Chains A and B, each alone.
Chain A
């Protein structure tokens, strides 16, 4: 019974390039959340998606960041024109349905911008 899967686990990008982070939720889970974690800090909420819908993007920067969760395939967090300040660990979590609060986290993608 696979947990939340994220890839790649490590991603290095040069300033100005695009970063694409993928998340496959646990089987049967239709809710996906993205969080960002800076070194020595807690996780910060970015966006909450259900299949084909963005429910809450209050934590997403207004520019360069976008997220999707298509009907088929993984959820994608896309960062355009990356800057050094985007370097962080990005975690995806999933939950089975509305009203179930527990979120299960993936191993994260560590993005380094050089």
Chain B
């Protein structure tokens, strides 16, 4: 069945700390994963993606780690800022001709000043 879920629904961190948001997926055939950030009242904003032939990818202040053995994905945000406060979703694309993204429920990140 379709299942992309997150371990923690909420995460509260202090400004300047690093944040780690986790995601579990169930379909071993998934070959592409994306992290989106969604602020209140807005559409999802692309943060970073990773393909299944990689286990790590870095962007500006963000790193995505993929562990295919345990079907686990994480998003690391370095030096978290108040502007990072939002709901973060992981999404998977299962390929094989299906273009749809399967989203998890989301983790709400709150950054305290």
Contacts of A82-106 to chain B: CB distance below 8 A: 91, 93, 95, 98, 101-106
Interface size class of chain B, counting residues whose CB lies under 8 Å from the partner chain? 20 to 34
Q: Is the CB of A105 within 8 A of B44?
A: yes
Q: Is the CB of B32 within 8 A of A101?
A: yes
Q: Is the CB of B99 within 8 A of A42?
A: no
Report how far A33 CA is from B101 CA in the complex, Å.
9
The listed residue with most A CB atoms (<10 A of its CB), out of B42, B43, B98, is B43
Report how far A63 CA is from B35 CA in the complex, Å.
32
Q: Nearest CB to that of A45 among chain B residues?
A: B100
Q: Is the CB of B49 within 8 A of A102?
A: yes
Q: Contacts A41-B105, A101-B93; is A48 near B46 (CB within 8 Å)?
A: no
Q: Is the CB of B98 within 8 A of A42?
A: no
CB distance from A114 to the nearest CB of B (A): 20
Q: Is the CB of B46 within 8 A of A56?
A: no
Q: Of A4, A33, A107, which is within 8 A of B100 by CB?
A: A33
- Residue B34 at the A interface, CB < 8 A? yes
Q: Is the CB of B49 within 8 A of A45?
A: no
- Enumerate chain B residues within 8 angstroms of A98, measured Cβ to Cβ: 99
Q: Of A42, A58, A104, which is within 8 A of B103 by CB?
A: A42
Q: Is the CB of A56 within 8 A of B42?
A: no
Report how far A84 CA is from B23 CA in the complex, Å.
32
Q: Contacts A31-B99, A33-B99, A43-B89; is A104 near B105 (CB within 8 Å)?
A: no
- Enumerate chain A residues within 8 angstroms of B99, measured Cβ to Cβ: 31, 33, 48, 55-56, 95, 98, 101
Q: Of B34, B100, B103, B104, which is within 8 A of A102 by CB?
A: B34
Q: Is the CB of A91 within 8 A of B105?
A: no
Question: Which positions in B face A, CB cutoff 8 Å?
Answer: 4, 32, 34, 36, 42-46, 49, 89, 91, 93, 98-106
Pairs A–B under 8 Å by Cβ, sample size 19: A31-B99, A33-B100, A41-B105, A42-B4, A43-B44, A43-B91, A43-B101, A43-B103, A45-B101, A48-B99, A56-B98, A58-B100, A91-B43, A101-B32, A101-B99, A102-B46, A103-B101, A105-B44, A106-B43
